[in-house]
Structure 1
Amino acid sequence: MKTRFLNACLVITLLLISSITSFAQLTYCNPMDIGYRYNFEQMNEKISYRSGADPVIVNHKGEYYLFVTISGGYWHSKDLSNWKFITPDKWPFEDMCAPAALSVNDTLFLFQSTFEQRPILYSVEPEKGKLQFYNRWLPRLPKDIGPWDPAIFHDDDTDRWFMYWGSSNVYPIFGAELDHKRRLTYAGPYQSMFWLDPWKHGWERFGPNHADLMKPFVEGAWMTKHNKKYYLQYGAPGTEYNVYATGTYVGKDPLGPWEYAPYNPISYKPGGFMNGAGHGNTFQDIYGNYWNTGTPWIGVNWGMERRLAMFPAGFDQDDQMYANTRFGDFPHYLPTKKWQSKDELFTGWMLLSYQKPVTASSTKDTLRASLVTDENPRTFWVAQHNQPGEWLTADLQHESEVKAVQVNYTDYENNVYNSDSTVYTQFKILHSKDGKRWEVVTDLSSEPRRDRACAYVAFSKPVRTRYIRYEHIYTAGPHLAISDVRIFGNTPGKVPNTPTRLKVVRQKDQRNADIRWEKVPGAVGYNIRWGIAPDKLYQTYQVWSDQPSYLELRALNVDVNYFFAIEAFNETGVSTLSTILSIK
């Protein structure tokens, strides 16, 4: 009897440990939690900031490699969550912008953006940082042509190689075949693939919410082959705004001719905390799931100050390409198998901290604590001193099940230009039910030192509590500045009612539509969803409940019919979807 009892206890203990471990390890949250590197390009102007942009994630022999603009190296991961920075043995003195990366058999290829002659590198041991020259000196192209923002593509079915590139509001996306027998030099003349057409494609217009008349930029080419079709992807209209997005043209040959996809953009995230989803790549994980990466915009210290994101993506039954940005900056599960539904990785953990009251240990000038719950990465709190013990306390105003916290730092008047061993992040997260007695939930000082500008911490188990406290230990630089402390979990209660009286009126300019709806009590926000069929509502524009119940959407394509719906969300969950409207 005693033996059976001990065995039963052991089984229960192991199950609990397994449950806690999986709860802690199986989620991620955008912006991606990597060690964003300090940029050196504006050091003479004394402008310091961390940044990451133009990501390419490559699945190489069942492990992942991440390449990012101006990073002095790359990252390696076995699970898409824990990323180790690798300093390679060869790297350009000027660093790499928007590099091309490709895995073929046992070899990883790498090529930087350039308007000059530069080499193609390769590695059969990228995990060790060992790079070698594959083509020592790729021929020069005509002035201003590039190849900037390159992508290299290998067609497995035909064993042909290609390069695509372009980053300009003057030139198109270019393409050329490469000669593998001559170490991937150009096999023939480069060709124009396509140009932007903002007069027909509303989302290609420049500026915030596509409202600037400046000529837009096309950039960031990437090629994906699916079901014998070629999807040549591109970023537009510009990286420094909330509407940076990815679109695609589709063809039957790697060099065209190309047909514009009427459902564009395929990856678009203009609302919510993290804005922008353009210029990344599409890859498959070890289970065969598709992902699309992108470049969200920060723009506090410099227009090109940015972060990274990755979204579940795929192709539907009609071969329509999509990326799922719905709740794209809320926690998601990391896959453990081939997913069946585009939404199944969403954890259902809701934002608990929006506009909740916050107190602080100290405040510098008018950079007040309440700004850390406004879901705006361009506003921030600054403490009087960057020293251990400074704190922020958020009052959730009722008890909730808290499951994760994301701390987003700002480089306020910083003086760091090199991500060396002095650059790392340490803090504690504590909780309290009464605001008086505190318990530590997580302590980063007990973990290996690394920098975490967007530190995402999933708790080992849910904590039922009312108050969450950030307690500072260390960040590099003279100031402690935090843009947002984002708290996720669920509050007991009912999901909001389904919004009613949704009205969508397309303007005379078909690229635009006026959207109105009736607010519902208790909602934290709304998702406007649309697409080219009732079962293809792949696009999402998130609007907060304290904003007007009106949106001018300026991202539509001329002569394309659309379908619209709306859903509400609160701290408990998400409402059912409203009636779907057909708009011509």
Structure 2
Amino acid sequence: MKMLILTVSLLALATAAHAEQTTYANPVDIDYRYNFEQQNEGISYRTGADPAVVLHQGAYYLFQTLADGYWRSEDLIHWNFITPSRWPFESIVAPALVSDGKTLYIMQSHTRQTALLKSDDPASGKLDFWVRRTPPVPTAVGEGKDDSHLGPDQVQPSPWDPGLFIDDDGKWYMYWGSSNIYPIYGIEMTPQPFAYKGKPDRFIYLQPEKHGWERFGQDHSGKLPNGTPITPFTEGAWMTKVNGKYYLQYGAPGTEYNVYANGTYVADKPLGPFTYADYNPVAYKPGGFVNGAGHGSTFQDKYGNYWNTGTPWLGYNWTFERRIDMLPAKFYADGQMAVSARFGDFPHYVPTSKIDDPEKLFTGWMLLSYRKPVSVSSQHARVEGQTFDAKNATDENPRSFWLAADNKPGQTLTVDLGAEKTVRAIQVNYADYKSGLYTDSPDIYTEFTLDASADGQSWTKVAETEPPRRDRPNAYFELPQPVKARYIRYVHGHIGAPNLAIADLRVFGSADGKAPGKPEGVTAKRDSDQRNARIEWKPVPGAVGYNVRWGIRPDRLTLTYQLFAEDDDTEFGGRQHGNRLDLRALNVGVGYYVAVESFNESGVSRLSQVISLP
């Protein structure tokens, strides 16, 4: 009878009309374009970076680096790619985007005079010239920090990584900068005719000696993998005005590692003076499947809720192989900006009204597939010391993957959840292995089905890719209704790449048991170097992982580092291990509060005692 009930429910699910999707999961499910940054090495890969999102005339528009077009959404869940009527010959890198309500303005990064675009109807793809030839940025600088080592009147050839802002009084401003030498600049400007007013002001210099999170490298090691020290980068300026305060945001310390983050300086005027926010970073996601949250944009949705986008890091094919994430944000009444990355790569609801607490958007659907057994129809042989085992598809590491023997339809990957569990959503994350794609071909699309089974013998389709055809390297499916299943099977149809590679097949839902116990024995000790602290706790029986949470107030633990109970950080050098985290993201002279929560496949524990970290 149990099997009959399961089969009936699965059949009903498979034949049901499309249910309204209410959730999303990071990385954002868009058709990331193949780029050509490595033609000389004979490979290409899908990538996304530097997302700029604005709400314009009731729809959301997403521009990013090297996409040869942009995306439109009406709900922040479904994104449609728009091929524009014209596009810069050099394409677009790290774009700025702003709307005055009537017109959408687009500025790409550039180091020489160039044309800029705008549109009164971006939904149609029709773009017109905003500026046919930009004037050079004034080279003299205003009063500010001593730049004598750069030259008395030297400004970075720019604007690279620009950000545009229209104040309530209609005045326009531009902010820019991408360097480990130069700062973030700002200047007032006029849009028509396009011109700069006055001299640029210098605003943001990184201070890694004071701000631990601004140190470069994996977990802020300050070094490249070969041990070479490196000066961190600041980039990705974005301005947001809330309750009369101006939040000048920036990305740091570099896109290549797990700690890419967004910070902010705050002022009472659009050109400052700006003050460093001691609660920085504001968007930070160093742990989990999605690593990194830097260089993006902050926008309000239709209901007044804030969101912050960023650039997670993959880095398998090249150090700049990346994706896009979207995290809920909030501005507190006292002015603090915060972005919630807690379970930031698990499914979240997209609100349809104003909400007060971004953390309530977490669905509570837990990860059921972590390190579960995987069986596959074929496996590629070991190559150049690399293994492409099936087990890589459930290890929560986007830089390891299963590689099939070929790319023919019918290849399968099956995850055994260990017992019947309630499945609510599934995410399929592809990897690129020796893709070698250099054209936008109609053949670049993704097709597959997802099946569920209670016994591994009788299967029913629970999800599938559907028309119109598009590439979905991070395809996410919210099931129309919960499904009880032990096995989830991917059945391959088509991808445009020559090799079928899956980094992770991630299954979300509930094991229908009890959440783990609250962590006990939490200790936090700051090093003599105040940028660092060690947090430890007693292992919790049955815990799959932990969230270390911290902030500058005991009732406002806005930052999270997620780690798994079995973690030993062997990939990058061991600063986390099961029930210990060496946290290296603190600001000198700032006191903190720390707590830990545990989680398993059934839920999340109560928060541990909150302890002071002076």
TM exceeding 0.5: yes
Counterpart of 2:267 (choices 246, 251, 259) is: 251
The 5-angstrom pairing of residues 517-536 of structure 1 reads 517-536=537-556
1:289 aligns with 2:285: no
Counterpart of 1:543 (choices 563, 567, 589) is: 563
Considering only aligned residues, what root-mean-square deviation do their CA atoms show, in Å?
Answer: 1.4
1:375 aligns with 2:386: no
Aligned-partner residue type, residue 94 of structure 1: E
* Aligned residue number for residue 132 of structure 1: 128
CA drift at 1:140: 1.8
CA distance in 2, matches of 1:82, 1:44: 35
How far does the alpha carbon of each residue in 1:223-248 deviate from its partner, in whole angstroms, 9 at most, with x for none?
Answer: 00011010000000000100000000
* Aligned residue number for residue 233 of structure 1: 249
Aligned-partner residue type, residue 171 of structure 2: R
Aligned-partner residue type, residue 112 of structure 2: E
Gaps of 5+ in 2: 1-11, 140-154, 223-228, 382-386, 568-576
CA distance in 2, matches of 1:529, 1:21: 41
* Aligned residue number for residue 462 of structure 1: 482
How many residue pairs match? The answer is 564
CA distance in 2, matches of 1:152, 1:477: 37
CA distance in 2, matches of 1:21, 1:550: 47
SS in 2 for 1:58: strand
How far does the alpha carbon of each residue in 1:46-80 deviate from its partner, in whole angstroms, 9 at most, with x for none?
Answer: 12100000001110011010001000010111111
* Aligned residue number for residue 208 of structure 1: 218
CA distance in 2, matches of 1:183, 1:583: 53
After the TM superposition, which parts of structure 1 deviate over 2 Å for at least 4 consecutive aligned residues? Answer: 20-24, 141-145, 417-420
CA distance in 2, matches of 1:22, 1:285: 24
CA drift at 1:184: 3.1
CA distance in 1, matches of 2:83, 2:176: 26
SS in 2 for 1:25: coil
CA drift at 1:214: 0.9
* Aligned residue number for residue 419 of structure 1: 440
CA drift at 1:417: 2.2
The 5-angstrom pairing of residues 105-504 of structure 1 reads 105-141=101-137, 142=139, 144-156=156-168, 158-180=169-191, 182-212=192-222, 213-365=229-381, 366-444=387-465, 446-504=466-524
Any conservation in 2 of the 1:49–1:305 contact (CA below 8 Å)?
A: yes
Any conservation in 2 of the 1:37–1:418 contact (CA below 8 Å)?
A: no
Counterpart of 2:606 (choices 576, 579, 584) is: 576
Aligned-partner residue type, residue 161 of structure 2: D
CA distance in 2, matches of 1:21, 1:544: 37
SS in 2 for 1:127: helix
TM-score, normalised to structure 1, is 0.95
CA drift at 1:144: 3.7
Aligned-partner residue type, residue 594 of structure 2: F
SS in 2 for 1:192: strand
Any conservation in 2 of the 1:294–1:309 contact (CA below 8 Å)?
A: yes
CA drift at 1:32: 0.3
Any conservation in 1 of the 2:404–2:499 contact (CA below 8 Å)?
A: yes
Any conservation in 1 of the 2:37–2:44 contact (CA below 8 Å)?
A: no
* Aligned residue number for residue 528 of structure 2: 508
SS in 2 for 1:203: helix
How far does the alpha carbon of each residue in 1:466-523 deviate from its partner, in whole angstroms, 9 at most, with x for none?
Answer: 0000010000122100000000001111100001111110000000001111111111
Aligned-partner residue type, residue 154 of structure 1: I
SS in 2 for 1:274: coil
How far does the alpha carbon of each residue in 1:323-351 deviate from its partner, in whole angstroms, 9 at most, with x for none?
Answer: 10000000001111111222111111000
SS in 2 for 1:518: coil
TM-score, normalised to structure 2, is 0.90
Any conservation in 2 of the 1:49–1:417 contact (CA below 8 Å)?
A: no
* Aligned residue number for residue 59 of structure 1: 55
* Aligned residue number for residue 35 of structure 1: 31
CA drift at 1:24: 4.7
CA distance in 2, matches of 1:311, 1:55: 12
1:555 aligns with 2:585: yes
Gaps of 5+ in 1: 1-15
How far does the alpha carbon of each residue in 1:427-469 deviate from its partner, in whole angstroms, 9 at most, with x for none?
Answer: 110011111111111122x432110000001111111010000
How far does the alpha carbon of each residue in 1:181-233 deviate from its partner, in whole angstroms, 9 at most, with x for none?
Answer: x4231112111112111110000000000002310000000000011010000
CA distance in 2, matches of 1:137, 1:538: 44
Aligned-partner residue type, residue 140 of structure 1: P
CA distance in 1, matches of 2:472, 2:97: 25
Any conservation in 2 of the 1:24–1:458 contact (CA below 8 Å)?
A: no
CA distance in 1, matches of 2:308, 2:441: 30
Any conservation in 2 of the 1:426–1:472 contact (CA below 8 Å)?
A: yes
**Identity over aligned pairs, percent:** 55
Stretch moving more, 182-191 or 538-547: 182-191
Any conservation in 1 of the 2:156–2:177 contact (CA below 8 Å)?
A: no
How far does the alpha carbon of each residue in 1:71-120 deviate from its partner, in whole angstroms, 9 at most, with x for none?
Answer: 00101111111111111112111110000000112110100001111223
CA distance in 2, matches of 1:52, 1:21: 32
